[in-house]
Amino acid sequence: MTIEETYLKDCFVITPKVFNDERGYFFETFNENIFKKETGIDPNFVQDNQSKSNLGVLRGLHFQTGEYAQAKLVRVVKGSVLDVCVDVREESATHGKYFSLILDDKKHQQLYIPRGFAHGFVVLEDNTIFSYKCDNFYNKYSESGIIYNDVALNIDWGIPEERLIISEKDKGLPALRE
């Protein structure tokens, strides 16, 4: 597998080596030794989550605060998404900047999102299965987020806004500056 840092510090794209033959394919989804060697980060994933969504569903932009902040390793098992992470670390040189990447079941890439980042994705095809590991447990009282259409971020989600399917909770998130 190859691991490349994005222009956002400590945020990495992981591309596996996929072995294909007449039976199908095989690849490692995670190798702690390689990850630690390439990134200098020693993750301790404690929770795995999975969702299934249809075309146009937008989930995010979410993060947890304080002692419940989470790093995530995200991937698509089936289908495709436009995955977006936003640096919300106030001391960071890239505070308020975002990185986006299409994750799908063809390239099998993953995105490592460090603590201090908001995360969201929009689903690009029906019946997409999205999976992610977290290095901290979910805590309802520390959840926070940023509105998906924050003008300061100006994220191009790739789908017309009128076709997006967004929860009422996500529609009520504040802007980054708030």
> Does residue 97 lie within any of the structural domains?
yes
Which residue is associated with the tokens 């300061």?
152
> Does residue 154 lie within any of the structural domains?
yes
Digit-by-digit pLDDT tens for the chain (178 residues) are 899 999 999 999 999 999 999 999 999 999 999 999 999 999 899 999 999 999 999 999 999 999 999 999 999 999 999 999 999 999 999 999 999 999 999 999 999 999 999 999 999 999 999 999 999 999 999 999 999 999 999 999 999 999 999 999 999 999 998 7
d(CA 73, CA 111) in angstroms, rounded, equals 6
d(CA 118, CA 19) in angstroms, rounded, equals 33
> Does residue 117 lie within any of the structural domains?
yes
Q: Which two tokens stand for residue 12?
A: 């990495």
DSSP per-residue letters across 72-112: EEEEEEESEEEEEEEE--TTSTTTT-EEEEEEETTT--EEE
User: Looking at residue 103, which CATH number applies to its domain?
Assistant: 2.60.120.10
Q: Which residues are marked as active site?
A: 62, 132
| Domain count within the chain | 1
Domain of 142 in residue numbering reads as: 46-171
> Does residue 80 lie within any of the structural domains?
yes
The residues facing 159 across adjacent strands are none
The answer to whether residues 6 and 12 touch, using CB atoms and an 8 Å cutoff, is yes
> Does residue 28 lie within any of the structural domains?
no
pTM of the model: 0.94
> Does residue 18 lie within any of the structural domains?
no
Closest Cα partner for 124 from 84, 82, 156?
A: 82
